[in-house]
Amino acid sequence: MIYGLKKIALIGHALLNLLLDKAHHDCKIIYIPANHDEKIRDFLHYDFGHIQLERQYTHTTATGNKRLVLHGDEFDDLITIHRFHNYLGDKGYDFMLFLNRWLHHSRCQLNKPYWSLATYLKQRIDKAHQAIARFRQAAISHAINNPVDRIICGHIHQPDLQYCDGIMYANCGD
């Protein structure tokens, strides 16, 4: 377990060094903090040279298409009934990840491939399907109101790529 944490820390450190090196060489970096980066959000719109912290960012391509990029936790209030459900879901998800790590470790000992408990449960729980659909619709409505061609987000840990109501919805699964 400690080895895994060290490995994650090393990867994060290497990524941070890479981004700082790119920024140092005049590459514009746009960082969109997630809900787990709550404290970083206090520094939105500060000037860090070539590093920009934004809640959301609209990128216009060379062909004029507009892509809105955001984390997606902005839609939590639209898809849950009460803030307590957000808290309960967050804690439940953390517990499920704990179980998933333990299960993965056990499966490795048996030379079995990776298997995701989260994905398994999401595919079989009707309420999860409904929440994912509400999240997708909230994101698409947000894109329509902004007006952009595509919306790229994460947050719900469910990768998805769909064209709906004239908007390309892309969820990276983060």
pLDDT tens column, 2-39: 444 455 455 567 777 888 888 888 888 888 888 877 78
Q: What is the overall mean pLDDT for the chain?
A: 83
Cα-Cα end-to-end distance for the chain: 22
Share of the chain above pLDDT 70, in %: 88
Q: Say how far apart CA 174 and CA 154 lie, in whole Å.
A: 5
pLDDT tens column, 36-77: 777 888 888 777 888 888 999 999 999 999 999 999 988 887
Query: Which residue did the predictor score with more confidence, 72 or 116?
Result: 72
pLDDT at 1: 38
Is 118's pLDDT higher than 80? no
pTM of the model: 0.73
Average confidence (pLDDT) over 73-93: 72
Q: Say how far apart CA 15 and CA 27 lie, in whole Å.
A: 15
pLDDT at 62: 96
Give me the long-range contacts of 126-132 (CB less than 8 A, separation at least 24): 131/79, 131/80, 131/156, 132/156, 132/158, 132/160
